Amino acid sequence: MKILVLNGPNINFLGIREKGIYGSEDYNSLVTSLEGKAKEEGHELEVYQSNYEGGLIDKIQEAYHNGTEGIIINPGAFTHYSYALRDALGSVEIPKIEVHISNVHKREEFRHLSVTAPVCTGQVVGLGLKGYALAMDFLTGR
């Protein structure tokens, strides 16, 4: 299966920012773990991170044309207000799982709303970096 993992703003600062919320593992550790899992299971994986909304939208549009069969996305703060990202996700008929490392429902009120979740197949929230692996398992039917 061909899977695209998209990470939004500040996800590249894992292990640096708010360790009490996001943990001490760094971004490279997350990427290495996902790449290892994909290789072991025989999947093709692309991981992309951008602090810019347009970069994420471009990748979603590319996915439509390049045979991507599943998208895992942690939109970061864009979750709560990016209607452009929502529209891009909603425009592709590809299974999509939204992932959040922390339990956004136990945090500040503004984090409780996801404008992107309604156009995703499902959502994994609050299970740390393991949420990405669980999203991959869902997409691949494991």
**One digit per residue, pLDDT tens: the chain, 142 residues?**
999 999 999 999 998 887 777 878 999 999 999 999 999 999 999 999 999 999 999 999 999 999 999 999 999 999 999 999 999 999 999 999 999 998 887 777 767 689 999 999 999 999 999 999 999 999 999 8
Residues carrying an active site annotation: 22, 100
Distance CA 75, CA 96 (A): 12
- Known binder of ligand: residue 101? yes
Distance CA 32, CA 14 (A): 13
CB-count exposure of residue 17 (10 Å: 0-12, 13-18, 19+): exposed
- Known binder of ligand: residue 10? no
- Known binder of ligand: residue 29? no
- Known binder of ligand: residue 111? yes
